[in-house]
Amino acid sequence: MPLRIATWNVNSVRLRGGALAQLVKERAPDVLCLQETKVADELFPADMFHELGYPHHLIFGQKAYHGVAVLSRVPLEQAERGDWCGKGDARHVYARLPGDIELHNFYVPAGGDVPDPGENPKFEHKLSFLDEITDWFSSNRHGARQILVGDLNIAPLETDVWSHKQLLKVVSHTPVEVEALGRLSASREWVDAVRHFIPPEEKLYSWWSYRARDWRAGDRGRRLGHVWVTPDLVSALESAEVLRDARGWEKPSDHVPVIVDIAT
């Protein structure tokens, strides 16, 4: 059975009802993985997703900050929440999909503005978060077919940013972050499902700042949204897309959906 999975940092789920409905109408994902939902669990707009055709919900939220959710047309089993760095932040949920596939949805800390863990506690948190989940995957998650999605808040390739040279010292593209992400990638020999279809030589972004007067003309983007799969799922990959046009929808998020089709 083909399965379409979309991951999207919606930057407040309650503000993106129209955009979410448009995504469902235009691309009809089977599974929606959201980040930065910014709402406590008891206030999550569950009815909206039922109306859109997603009866299965896995939510992990907190008031005004962070938050992740998986909304699905197919059953979700063995649903769990992950807590990293002892902060209680709502940044990770995972569950089992049909086809015995374990799906992980992450919202990696942004890391603040100063790329120095000694001076910036937010940046230190980001690196510690990546180290913890790397160790966890290395030690605990072998043997499962897995998909990892989310806003990883790192653009690893030179072509994942509008200017490699100008962003080398900007949080999200610094060498120390890229190296940390590389260690996470190596933990299960993850394969970048998007770059499996879109050549790494091609410029590709999933985020454009709200500060840009004309995001499309300036095109100063970064690829922060990702979909990875374990090697045993590579042959099942069918297509991948970064829905760039969503940045121009009414009341847009500063991120756009990343969509992958996979056979289960």
State the pLDDT at residue 207. Answer: 98
**Under 8 Å between Cβ of 95 and 58:** yes
- Rounded to whole angstroms, the Cα distance separating 109 from 93 reads 15
Tokens of 69: 């959710």
Q: In 3-state terms, what secondary structure has residue 258?
A: strand
Q: With bands split at pLDDT 50, 70 and 90, how would you rate the model's confidence at 1?
A: confident
> Nearest to residue 137, comparing CAs of 95, 190, 69?
190
- Rounded to whole angstroms, the Cα distance separating 54 from 165 reads 43
Averaged confidence pLDDT in the chain: 97
Q: With bands split at pLDDT 50, 70 and 90, how would you rate the model's confidence at 144?
A: confident
* Those residues with Cβ within 8 angstroms of residue 149's Cβ, 6 or more apart along the chain or in another chain: 5, 7, 33, 103, 104, 105, 106, 226, 227, 228, 258
Here the CATH number for the domain that contains residue 176 is 3.60.10.10
Mean pLDDT of the 169-186 span: 98
Whether 141 shows a pLDDT value over 80: the answer reads no
Q: With bands split at pLDDT 50, 70 and 90, how would you rate the model's confidence at 142?
A: confident
State the pLDDT at residue 11. Answer: 98
pLDDT tens by residue, 43-71: 999 999 999 999 999 999 999 999 999 99
Domain residue limits at 183:
2-263
**Under 8 Å between Cβ of 240 and 193:** yes
Q: How far is CA 173 from CA 70, 136, 258, in A?
A: 27, 24, 19
Mean pLDDT of the 217-237 span: 97
Q: How many domains does the chain have?
A: 1
DSSP 94: E
Whether 105 shows a pLDDT value over 80: the answer reads yes
